[in-house]
Structure 1
């Protein structure tokens, strides 16, 4: 099993009614060099300007992105090529990121290579330090910019720090 750190940007709060604009994935391994960046054309006429602004793109720019079926199929191939066994989805906010990735995979490719499970990095850290009021974000080295590959890399750095310096037992 390989851990894949994922981060998504969208133009609204839920998939289907709104669109995933782009996402990044990082294979969690010591050098964090294996990444995927996907951009997706909107699937809905609905969008929230403030939500889209977080991604740094305009509506005109995202309307020129590749179709979601293409991007999700390409991501599925990337996962197969770079994961040993079934990949494990992990993210900073899996309640948000997972819903989009899962919905898009099922809707545009018919299945989700991650299966039916995901992990939350923040919850993992809280358990590791035994304090639900703690936050892992100080463990990132890469600045959080809302570019999904950079944000996924920063979160993967935090996970590696938990393993290497805090004693987290995890097979990477």
Structure 2
């Protein structure tokens, strides 16, 4: 099984009515050298300025991004090159990130290479620490910049630390 840490940026709270404008993915393995970055043209006229501002892009910039179908097909090809084994989607906020990736894959390619499951990094750490009030964010090394590759790398670093230093039993 290969774990793929994913982070997305969007211009609103839900896919379809709003748009995923960028995402990053990192294969969770030592070195964190295998990454994917996608920018996507908005699919909706709806957008929330404060949500978009988090990404650092303007609406005008996002309107010049590539068509989502091509980006999602490229992402699927990249994922197929990772492993013929099962791919596990994991993110800091999988309730948010997963809904966009899943919707975009099904809408634009007809299938999600991750299947129907995802894992939440924060919940995993809370279980490891046996404390629902703790956060894993101090385990990141890469600064959280809201560039999705940076954020996915920081989260992947945290997962590797959980495995290597905190005893999490996980096959990466």
Structure showing the higher helix proportion among its residues: 1
Q: 1:19 and 1:83 mapped to 2: Cα distance?
A: 29
Cα offset, 1:70, TM superposition: 0.2
Say how many residue pairs are matched.
Answer: 172
Moved over 3 A (4+): none
Q: Flag structure 2 segments of 5+ consecutive residues without an equivalent.
A: none
Cα offset, 1:116, TM superposition: 0.1
Query: TM-score normalised to the size of structure 2?
Result: 0.99
Cα offset, 1:22, TM superposition: 0.1
- 8 A Cα contact 1:2 1:84, kept in partner: no
Q: 1:151 and 1:117 mapped to 2: Cα distance?
A: 21
Q: 2:59 and 2:86 mapped to 1: Cα distance?
A: 35
Query: TM-score normalised to the size of structure 1?
Result: 0.99
Q: 1:47 and 1:146 mapped to 2: Cα distance?
A: 18
Cα offset, 1:86, TM superposition: 2.0
Question: Match for residue 128 of structure 1?
Answer: 128
Deviations 1:57-114 (A, max 9, x none): 0111100000000000000000000134121000000000000000000000000000
Question: Match for residue 150 of structure 2?
Answer: 150
1:103 and 2:103 correspond: yes
Q: 2:39 and 2:83 mapped to 1: Cα distance?
A: 21
Q: Flag structure 1 segments of 5+ consecutive residues without an equivalent.
A: none
CA RMSD of aligned residues (A): 0.5
Question: Match for residue 79 of structure 1?
Answer: 79
Q: 1:15 and 1:89 mapped to 2: Cα distance?
A: 18
